[in-house]
Structure 1
Amino acid sequence: MENQVQVENYKIQQPEMWAGNIGDQELQDRIKDSEFAKKQIDEGRDYCYFLDKKYYSSNTENSEYVFMAYTLNEPGNLERASVSDIIVEENEVYQIHRISVLRDGVLIDKIPDTKIKVLDSENQSSGGVLSSNKKINITIKDLRLYDVLILEDTRVKVFTDRDFLRKSFSKYVWVSPDNYWAYGLFKFTFINEREQRVAYKKTFFRDEIGNVLEPEINYLNKGEQFVIEEQNYINPVDSGREIFPYIDFATESTWKELSNYIVPMYDEVLNTSFLKDFAPNLIEKLDAISNQDEKLQFAIEYVQNHIYYIFNADEMSGHKPQEPSVTYENKQGDCKAKSVLLKIILDYIGVDASVVLVNFNTDYYIKYYLPSLLSFNHVVVKVNYKGEEYFIDATTRDEFGLIENRGFIYFMQYLEVKKDQELQMRKSYKFPYFCVDEKIDFHVQGNIGKLNLITVYKGNRANAMRKYFKNTNKREIIDSWNSFLFYSLNYSNDRNGTDVRNIFKDAVIDVVGDDKKLNEVKIQYTATVDNPYYVDPQKNRFLMYFDRNLVKAGARDFMHKDLPFWHNYDSEKYEINLYTDQKIDTGEKYTVQESTITNPYFDFKSRKKISKNGASVFIEYSPLVNLEIPQNEFEAFREDHHTIADSNFGLGIDIIEPGLINSLKFSFKKRFK
């Protein structure tokens, strides 16, 4: 075997006592082609003869043992099995117990054919991500189609002093296996060797007809095990519409106990650190600002933009924040450090603020999880100002505006770093401004159209648009707008395949305004369009402008059985003006159609103004966001979005062609419509 010298990141050894030890003969006895196995293989499905997982948790280590044997009947699986990567954390060791294949009834040890490389897994350090993770690259030579691959290994994470939280608290989430595979035997074991009792909660398990069962909570004392075992098993979950069943294991605790555990760690720095002791230059700048709104804006943007964000992956599982004086002096820190510094600054200027724990990635699940500090992966600052509640992510960059104009962060669950706290549910939110406010003017004379768009972006949209214009080639930006307009003006239906640059002549786009206090970015786009009318197969001409951003396809197509719909759309306002030197049908149904929708979760209004040579529509869409829509209310919500999609997301006008015959045709059409 290559790489004979052992390194600290991996070892080749026998399993630990708790994992068990299986000999070669017993292993071969497990790999039998039952009727169930033959059926799966005949259907072209790769087959796992057995998957035995064990998770061992103590106050000194967490270890995960896996023993499995599966077919390599598909070229893709063969390729993935031949070369694989294992990521190990600091002080984590990957133990290899067995790499074998069963080929034509013969068990062959493949460890001599295995090449192992240990590589640094730090590929983002230039972006402030610090990690001492290692990547263990494993290459197995001479794997063949129709081999049965046998892998047995353990990942052992021994806790250091930096892992004080993991020493005190266990957290592990088991998820039911991939529904691609068929399993002859599937077995999972959780072994509790901690001094503390471990709770486990079974969630999203289903009965025989697929209905979700009520969550079930049980407990494991030290030395006890939980086992789940299935034979001839295919996971029945409809992965597109259902959540995989999972079991959450966590040291028995309450949110109140956890908040009281963590508060002293933050109080240690918050109650002993004062801005006047380490930041006289910053105080001088703050004191020079007389307006409190602007002073608050300056404080937030100072921490966001002048303190470099360092994500130290090895310390994120702990919760001891860096001293704010160190963060200020070094001009860098992780989310805890930046949030604590921001709170110290806000304390100085007299703004009420607190540090809160969140997890944007698994926010939906936190309400189902057992209480655990290890459920959180990020820290932000909650600000109470002028009777309103705001959340500020101190690690964000290039964000602007007085606090009420800043971007909105979407999440629902959080734990405030104060005594005796429970997990809190964030309030729903109504934008006090329109995130998009756009005016479209399209004037057509003869066969030439002049197109002018003025768009004001605010909040998150303004921040995103600044970055987009800063980082994107202008030609690419114009092409993007051209492509959008190609569909909005319905040209995709009468000149599909035409280069958009040949349709929108002399297109120009510029940022014409940027107010950093209001957090508003104003953009203007102009272009000339030859042949501006959409022409249908019957040679009828139309001017159309329909903004498909208003058609929320995600809401209309949503079909999930378990997940409620997460409502997070922006508020929008549009004025669309279409003018022509031709006579138009002022009574056409869809031209004059207006709508008013008052849904518990959004208000929608479209109003029209019609003249003999043109029309205007005024549209406002105001959603209530940052909430889940209950399933029993979703169909009405969906139906209202269907109503928007029924020609209420823009404007179309029909041209009455000149001439007596055309007028007679038009009158006849109207009479018998």
Structure 2
Amino acid sequence: MDNQMQVENYKIQKPEVWAGNIGDQEIIDRIKDSEFSRKQIEEGKDYCYFLDKKYYTSNNENSEYVCMAYTLNEPGNLERASVSDVVVEENEVYQIHRISVLRDGVLIDKIPDTRIKVLDSENQSSGGVLSSNKKINITIKDLRLYDVLVLEDSRIKEFTDRDFLRKEFSKYVWVSPDNYWAYGHFKFTFINAREQTIAYKKTFFRNEKGEVLEPEIKFLKQGQCFVIEEPNYINTVDSGREIFPYVDFATESSWKDLSNYIAPLYEEVSNKASLQDFAPNLIEKLEAIADQGEKIQLAIEYVQNHIYYIFDADEMNGHKPQEPSVTYENKQGDCKAKSLLLKVILEYIGVEASVVLVNFNTDYYIKYYLPSLLSFNHAVVKIKYKGEEYFVDATTRDEFGLIENRGFMYFIHYLETKKDQELQVRKPHKFPYYCVDEKVDFNVKGNIGKLNLVTTYKGNRANAMRRYFKSTHKREIIDSWNSFLFYGFNYSNDRNGTDIRNVFKDAEIDVVSDDKKLNEMKIQYTATVDNPYYVDPQNNRFLMYFDRNVIKASARDFMHKDLPFWHSFDSEKYEVNLYTDQKIDTGEKYTVQESTIKNPYFEYSSRKKVTKNGASVYIESNPLVNIEIPQKDFEQFRTDHHTVADSNFGLGIDIIEPGLMNSLKFSFKKRFK
């Protein structure tokens, strides 16, 4: 074998005692075709003859063992098997026990044909991501289509002093396998070798009718195992509409106990030195500001922009934060360090603040998970100010505004790093401002249309739009607006294929104003449009403006059975004015149609004003966000969004062509409509 020298990141050896030992003949005996296997292979799928997976946890290590045999009947699977990567953490060792193929009834050892390289797995260090992970690249020569590949390996993660939290607490989530694969024999074993009792919770398992069963919680003492074993197994989950069944394992504890464990760690480091001692220059700047809101803004933006964010993967699995004085002096820190520094600064100016633990990726599942500090992967700051609660991510950049105008952070569950805390649930949120406030004026004289569009963005939208204008070439920005308007005016249906730059002539876009306290950015787009009317196949002319951003397709198309719909739409306000020097049909249905929706989760109104030469529409949408919409309420929510989509998201006016015959045709149409 190439690269024979053993290195610390991987070893070739027999399995650990807890994993057991399986001989070659037993492997061969277990790779037997059956009616079940033949059916899968005939359907063109790869097939796994057996999968034995074991997870072992003690107070000294977390380890996983896998032994499996699967077909290489598909070229894509053969390629993936021939070259693969395994990423190991610091102090984690990848153990290879067996790499073999069963070919023509003979078990062939492929370790001599295996080349192993150890590479650094650090491709983002320039962005402040630090990791001691290693990538083990495994190349197996001479794998052939229709081989059966046998892999047996383990990952052994021994704890260091830095892993004090992993020593004390265990957390593991087993998720049922991908439903592409069929298994002749599937087995998963969880082995508790810890001194502490481990609880486990089975969630989203289903009965024979496909109905979700109530979660059940049981316990494993030291030396006990949990086993799932299935013969001829295919996961029947409808992956597009159902959540995969999973089992959550965690050291038996309560949220209150966990908060009492974590609180002293934050308390200890935050009290080691006062802000006056290590940040006199910052204090001078703060005390030069009279307004408390402006002081808060300075504190937030100082930590966000002047303290460099270092994501240290090896430190994130512990919860002991860096001292604020060190963070300030070094001008860098991870999310815990930056959050704690911001908390200390806010408390100095008399603002109540605390560090809270969150997990944006698995926020939905935290309410189902067993209590565990290892369920969180990020820290942010909770601020109480003038009777309101705000949450600030100290690791972000390019965010602005007084605290009430800053962008809103979406998540529901969090744990404060204080004593005697339970898992907390945030209230739903209503924006005190419009995230988008837009006015469209389109005036047509003769065959020329003058377009003026003014949009004010606030909160998250203002932050995003600043970044967009900062990083994008102006020509590209104008093209983006042109493309949006091409569809908004319905030109895509009567001049599709036309160069959009030739439709919207002399297009310009500029930032009119940018208020960093209000966090409000206003832009203006102007253009001239030749042939401004949309013309249908019968040569009828219309002025139309329908903003499809107002239609929430994700709400109308949502079909998941288990996940509730996550409501995170922005508040929006639009005024659209379409005017012409032609006579219009002032009674046309879609010109005068209005709507009022009062759903528990959003209020929506569309109001019209019609004159003989034009019309205006005033649209307002005020959602209740940061909330999961229960299934019992969702169909009405969907229906109300269908109502919005039924021509209540814009304006259209019909032109009455001049001339006696056209007037008669129009009168006849109105009479018999």
TM-score bracket for this pair, using the shorter chain length: over 0.9
- CA distance in 2 between partners of 1:355 and 1:96 (Å): 42
Superposed CA offset, 1:194-227 (max 9, x none)? 0000000000000001000000100000000000
The reply on whether 1:78 has 2:39 as its aligned counterpart is no
Aligned to 1:423: 423
Displacement of 1:512 after TM fit? 1.2
TM-score by length of 1: 1.00
Task: Say if 2:391 is the partner of 1:391.
Answer: yes
Q: Deviations over 1:456-485 (max 9, x none)?
A: 000000000000000011111111111111
- Corresponding position of 2:348: 348
Counterpart in 2 of 1:7? Answer: 7
Q: Contact 1:196–1:252 (CA<8 Å) still a contact in 2?
A: yes
What is the deviation of 1:517? 0.2
Q: Which residue of 1 aligns with 2:318?
A: 318
Mapped pair 1:506 → 2:494 = no
Which stretch of the first structure deviates more once superposed, 503-512 or 187-196? 503-512
Q: Which residue of structure 2 aligns with residue 617 of structure 1?
A: 617
8 Å contact kept, 2:296–2:402: yes
Task: Tell me what 2:113 maps to.
Answer: 113
User: For residue 473 of structure 1, what is the aligned residue in structure 2?
Assistant: 473
Contact 2:323–2:337 (Cα < 8 Å) also in 1: yes
User: Which whole-Å deviations, capped at 9, do the CAs of 1:377-435 have from their partners, x for residues lacking one?
Assistant: 00000000000000010001010000000000000000011111000001100000000
Quote the residue 1:672 is aligned against.
672
- The separation in 1 between residues aligned to 2:6 and 2:271, in whole angstroms, is 48
Shift, 1:272, TM fit: 3.0
Q: Which residue of 1 aligns with 2:224?
A: 224
Which residue number corresponds to residue 25 of structure 1? 25
Instruction: Name the structure 2 match of 1:496.
Output: 496
Letter in 1 for 2:350: G
* Counterpart mapping for 1:216-255 below 5 A: 216-255=216-255
AA in 2 matched with 1:591: T
Q: CA deviation at 1:71?
A: 0.6
**What's 2:299 paired with?**
299
Q: Which residue of 1 aligns with 2:143?
A: 143
Q: In 2, Cα distance between the equivalents of 1:273 and 1:53?
A: 49
SS in 2 for 1:549: coil
Given residue 375 of structure 2, which amino acid in structure 1 is its aligned partner?
A: S
1:358 alignment counterpart: 358
AA partner of residue 308 (structure 2): Y
Q: What secondary structure, in the 3-state scheme, does the structure 2 residue paired with 1:548 have? A: coil
Partners of 2:332 and 2:401 in 1: CA distance: 23
Identity %: 84
Map Cα deviations across residues 241-270 of structure 1 (whole Å, 9 max, x no partner).
Answer: 000000000000000000000001001012
Give deviations 1:133-192, integer Å, cap 9, x for gaps. Answer: 001111111111111111110001000000000000000000001000011000000000
What amino acid is the match of 1:655? I
CA contact 2:455–2:522 (8 Å) conserved in 1 = yes
Q: 1:537, 1:142 → 2: CA distance?
A: 63
Query: How far off is 1:656 after superposition?
Result: 0.6
For residues 292 and 612 of structure 1, the distance between their equivalents in structure 2, rounded to whole angstroms, comes to 53
Structure 1 unaligned spans of 5+: none
Letter in 1 for 2:503: I
Tell me the equivalent position of 1:180. Answer: 180
Structure 2 residue 632 is the aligned partner of structure 1 residue 632: yes
The 8 Å contact of residues 182 and 233 in structure 2, kept in 1 or not, is answered as yes
Q: Partners of 2:186 and 2:530 in 1: how far apart?
A: 66
2:276 is the alignment partner of 1:276 = yes
CA distance in structure 1 between the partners assigned to 2:510 and 2:86 by the alignment: 48
Paired residues for 1:198-597 under 5 Å: 198-597=198-597
Distance 2:232 2:464 in 1: 51
Specify the alignment match of 1:602 in structure 2: 602
> Partner of 1:624: helix, strand, or coil?
strand
Q: For residues 32-47 of structure 1, what are the structure 2 equivalents within 5 Å?
A: 32-47=32-47
Residue pair 2:103, 2:147 contacting (<8 A) in 1 also: yes
The residue identity in structure 2 corresponding to 1:223 is G
Q: 2:213, 2:273 → 1: CA distance?
A: 50
User: TM-score with structure 2 length normalisation?
Assistant: 1.00
Deviation at 1:538, TM superposition (A): 1.1
Q: Which amino acid aligns with 1:638?
A: R
Q: Which residue of 2 aligns with 1:161?
A: 161
| Superposed displacement of residue 102, structure 1 | 0.8
Contact 1:609 1:615 survives alignment (8 Å): yes
SS at match of 2:315: coil
Distance in 1 of aligned mates of 2:652 and 2:18: 72
- Helix, strand or coil at the partner of 2:314: coil
**Which stretches of structure 1, 4 residues or more, deviate above 4 A after TM superposition?**
none
How far did 1:443 drift?
Answer: 0.8
Work out whether residues 596 and 605 of structure 2, in 8 Å CA contact, stay in contact via their aligned partners in 1: yes
Mapped partners of 1:100, 1:499: distance in 2: 59
Q: Distance in 2 between matches of 1:502 and 1:273?
A: 65
Tell which deviates more after alignment, 269-278 or 25-34. 269-278
Aligned length: 673
> In the alignment, is the contact (CA less than 8 A) between 1:199 and 1:218 conserved in 2?
yes
The answer for the alignment partner of 1:95 in structure 2 is 95
Structure 2 Cα separation of the partners of residues 159 and 283 of structure 1: 41
Alignment deviations for residues 548-576 of structure 1 (CA, whole Å, 9 cap, x no partner) = 11100000000000000000000000000
In the alignment, the residues of structure 2 paired with residue 49 and residue 666 of structure 1 have an alpha-carbon distance, to the nearest angstrom, of 74
- Partners of 1:569 and 1:623 within 8 A in 2: yes
Q: Which runs of 5+ in 2 are unaligned?
A: none
Cα pair 1:52 1:187 within 8 Å, conserved: yes
What letter is aligned with 2:23?
G
Code of the aligned partner of 2:152: E
AA of the residue aligned to 1:39? K
Paired letter, 2:331: K
Equivalent position SS for 1:315: helix
For 2:419 and 2:242, locate their aligned partners in 1 and report how far apart those are by CA, in whole Å: 37
Structure 1 letter corresponding to 2:290 = S
Give 1:85 deviation, angstroms.
Answer: 0.8
What is the root-mean-square deviation of aligned Cα atoms in Å? Answer: 0.6
Q: Which residue of 1 aligns with 2:128?
A: 128
Aligned equivalents of 1:142, 1:484: Cα separation in 2 = 53
Partners of 2:76 and 2:387 in 1: how far apart?
Answer: 58
Q: Aligned AA for 2:198?
A: V
Counterpart code for 2:403? I
The separation in 2 between residues aligned to 1:565 and 1:34, in whole angstroms, is 43
Q: Deviations over 1:7-27 (max 9, x none)?
A: 100001011111111111110
1:271 Cα deviation from its structure 2 partner: 2.7
State the Cα distance separating 1:273 from its structure 2 match. Answer: 2.9
Structure 1 window deviating more from structure 2 (473-482 vs 164-173): it is 473-482
> For residues 531 and 469 of structure 1, what CA distance do their matches in structure 2 show?
30
- The answer as to whether partners of 1:30 and 1:49 remain within 8 angstroms in 2 is yes
The 1-side partners of 2:150 and 2:665 are apart by: 78
Aligned-partner Cα distance in 1 for 2:474–2:84: 41
Q: CA deviation at 1:445?
A: 1.0
The amino acid that maps onto 1:131 is S
CA distance in 2, matches of 1:170, 1:459: 39
Confirm or deny: 8 A CA contact 1:273 1:344 kept in the other structure.
no
Measure, in 1, the Cα distance between the counterparts of 2:307 and 2:298.
13
SS at match of 2:210: coil
CA contact (8 A) 2:272 2:323 kept: no
| Shift of residue 597, structure 1, vs aligned partner | 0.4
Q: Distance in 2 between matches of 1:179 and 1:261?
A: 40
Shift of 1:669: 0.8
In 2, distance between residues paired with 1:620 and 1:604? Answer: 6
State the distance in 2 between where 1:544 and 1:362 align.
43
